């Protein structure tokens, strides 16, 4: 069985932030989980979090970075230097895009080919010739994002099952397309196709 993808080693004596057995319950060590710590690399982490927060703030319209009113009731929460980052406004489209980017990223970490990713998202997307050897990266389909060709492949498919049937049905009803599939394959292409 291949190893499970994890974040790369952070240098020094610290294991990967998500390495099993680290502090913090999910394997996250304290200095990686707390941007205000003085651990090695915390400045770089703090800067990365600030940049990500600013990007998300611009994309979602954010909210004022003022501490919430309830904070006074919890004196054990030490903000050393102020309230770091306010939460974001809920943005369903951005959330879907970020989830798709994570899906594509993890598919790459697991070493999947685009054909295997297409199979996971919707087995009916593959042609009979592609299904003959799922481990062979060869694809008969040049552009899996072509919505007309995708619909034709799905219509012709006699594959006996679907991976995400309920999700696909809900998205077809809400958006007129299987949006997750499209977003994940677009993110895959942005990662280097």
Q: What is the pLDDT of residues 91-115, one digit of tens each?
A: 899 999 999 999 999 999 999 999 9
pLDDT of residue 86: 67
pLDDT for 24 beyond 50: no
Ranking 3-12, 16-25, 126-135 by mean pLDDT, the lowest is: 16-25
Q: What is the pLDDT of residues 43-83, one digit of tens each?
A: 887 788 788 888 888 888 877 666 677 777 877 776 666 55
pLDDT of residue 40: 60
* Residues ≥6 apart with Cβ < 8 Å to 149: 141, 143
Extents of the domains making up the chain: 12-89, 92-190
How far, rounded to the nearest angstrom, does the alpha carbon of residue 156 sit from its chain's CA centroid?
31
pLDDT of residue 84: 61
Listing DSSP states for 52-74 in one string gives HHHHHHHHH-----PPPGGGGG-
pLDDT of residue 64: 66
- Helix 114-121 to helix 179-190 angle (10° resolution) is 160
DSSP 77: -
- 32 with 14: CB under 8 angstroms? yes
pLDDT of residue 121: 98
- 7 with 18: CB under 8 angstroms? yes
- Mean pLDDT over 9-14 rounds to 42
Closest CA relative to residue 96, chosen from 4, 193, 170, 151: 170
Write down how long the chain is. 193
């Amino acid at each position: 069985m291949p190893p499970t993808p994890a974040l790369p080693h952070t240098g020094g004596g610290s294991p990967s932030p998500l390495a099993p057995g680290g502090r913090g319950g999910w394997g996250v060590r304290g200095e990686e989980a707390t941007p205000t710590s003085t651990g090695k690399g915390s400045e770089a982490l703090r800067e990365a979090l600030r940049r990500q927060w600013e990007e998300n703030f611009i994309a979602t319209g954010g909210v004022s970075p003022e501490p919430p009113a309830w904070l006074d009731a919890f004196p054990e929460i030490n903000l050393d230097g102020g309230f770091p980052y306010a939460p974001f406004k809920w943005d369903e489209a951005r959330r879907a895009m970020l989830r798709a980017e994570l899906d594509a990223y993890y598919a790459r970490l697991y070493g999947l080919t685009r054909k295997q990713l297409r199979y996971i998202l919707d087995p009916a997307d593959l042609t009979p010739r592609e299904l003959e050897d799922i481990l062979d990266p060869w694809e008969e389909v040049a552009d899996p994002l072509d919505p007309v060709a995708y619909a034709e492949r799905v219509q012709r498919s006699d594959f006996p099952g679907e991976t995400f049937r309920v999700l696909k049905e809900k998205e077809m009803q809400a958006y007129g397309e299987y949006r997750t599939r499209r977003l994940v394959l677009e993110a895959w292409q942005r990662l280097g196709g």
